[in-house]
Amino acid sequence: MSNKSLLNKFLSFSVGSWITFLIGIISTPIITRMFSPVQFGIYSQFELYSSLVMIILVFGIDQAFVRFFYAEKEENRKLLLLRCVKIPAIINILLIILAIIFREYVSKFIFGSYNLIFLIIIIVHVSFLLINRFALLVVRMQQKSKTYSLLIVMNKVFYLFMIFIAGYYLKDNYMALVLALLFSNVAVTIMAIICEREYWNIFNIKDGEMNLQTDTKEILVYGAPLVITAAIHYIFQSADRIAIQSFWGAEELGIYSSAAKVVALLTILQGCFTTFWVPVAFERYEKNPEDVEFFEKASLIVTIAMFFCTIGLILFRDIIILFLGSEYRTAAYIIPFLSFMPIMYTVSETTVLGINFKKKQRKHIYISVVSCVVNIIGNFILVPKLGAVGAGISTGLSYIVFFSIRTYIGLRYYKVNYHLKRFYIMTFALCIYTFYATFFKFGYLYILLGILELLLLYILYRKYINALINMCRDLYKKKIKR
């Protein structure tokens, strides 16, 4: 696959994410004005609990499905899907039974009071979230970019539609956000299954199971360590919100969550790249494991793109915050360090490949443990004094640690030149800018530092930026001629 065809495929895959990005820019200020920080904070807790249940349900099987998808013949991939889904489905049924038995305790723990309807909502939501995970993976792994983009856009459209409907009746109530999330999840899951209905046909499955190279034991062995990793990573990602809730309460958590929503505009780009990258990387490795230059170029492109977008976000953060509403103004000082999260995670997806290619899943546990400990310590020290700002600093720095360990271990199993000296120079320079942006207001020096960051990015990656510009120009000319 040539660089141009690879870029073309990436752009094709990213259409939905860019449309979602634009929708997010328009909708985020509307949503923050509809709901107070307190209600936003409670909704954030609902998302956290849903994520925790999903870790238990999926049991790492989704990543096993990704890893073995291209190892199986095309005609056997449906059987691989059904075998992978079967295990989480059984776990889900068991958890539903337990939730019903201990319904009062579970409801009070999540919502603060006993409400059977609310409990049913979260059971349905998580159940469909499980199916949604695999339904979208099927589309992703087949690299059906147009279908995937459509599903991503429709998910956002359904979500916004329901927020306006539910918000009209429930007003400033977190349940409007919860119902919107549930409706969009169910609708997109059904659409994804219809699009790939042949994969979800359960008939005559037993006749073909023996043709699978991957057995249930291999799936479990691959996925099981990832459960521990996911659980630790959940604590790593949740430590900031838990600390804020414990020391400052729901209102501060809501402000922090609004800052995270702004940074989520960058995580859309992160998700866009990851969605495209995972199937492409595994397919390339299965066909030609010696082609390290391919992975080097991919890492450089995503590094340049993420640094450029992050500097832009920090530079214009005060303008973006103006649209959120007066209650969320302090979120501006949380955004800078929080922006390290999408950079470090996205770039590390290109540098961690050695662990995944060589099936060294246990290494992910060590990575998550170290990153998690750093984040917990950072939150324990900074949040009591600085509140949400301290949580942002701790999260940003811990993600730099996360990237570093991921890259170091990944290189032990698969040697690629990731140009790490350039990367760390740029990271150090960005740290200086984020420290200034965290504690000082917008002004001439603020703008000057942002411009210097962009200049340094160009100096460090000039050769690759020029090549990328030329590639995009050639691709654009070819599109025009067509």
Q: What is the pLDDT of residue 482?
A: 56
- C-alpha 103/C-alpha 121 separation (Å) is 12
Helix or strand (DSSP H, E) at 9: helix 3-34
For residue 301, pLDDT beyond 70: yes
Q: What is the span of the domain harbouring residue 52?
A: 3-481
Distance between CA atoms of residues 218 and 226, nearest Å: 13
Backbone angles phi, psi at 215, to 5 degrees: -95, 170
- 3-state helix, strand, coil split of the chain in percent (to 5) is 85, 0, 15
Is pTM, for the whole model, over 0.85?
Answer: no
CB-count burial class (<10 Å; 0-12, 13-18, 19+) for 151? buried
Count the domains in the chain. 1
Tell me, rounded to whole angstroms, the distance of Cα 134 from its chain centroid.
16
Average pLDDT over residues 292-316: 90
- Asked if pLDDT for residue 1 goes beyond 80, the answer is no
- 132-148 average pLDDT score: 84
Q: Is the pLDDT of residue 212 over 80?
A: no
DSSP category for residue 144: -
pLDDT in the model for residue 421: 95
**Does the pLDDT at position 279 exceed 90?**
no
Which of 136-150, 208-222, 227-241, 308-322 is predicted with the least confidence, judged by mean pLDDT?
208-222
pLDDT at 13: 54
pLDDT (mean) for 296-310? 90
Average pLDDT of the segment spanning 423-434: 96
Length of the chain: 482
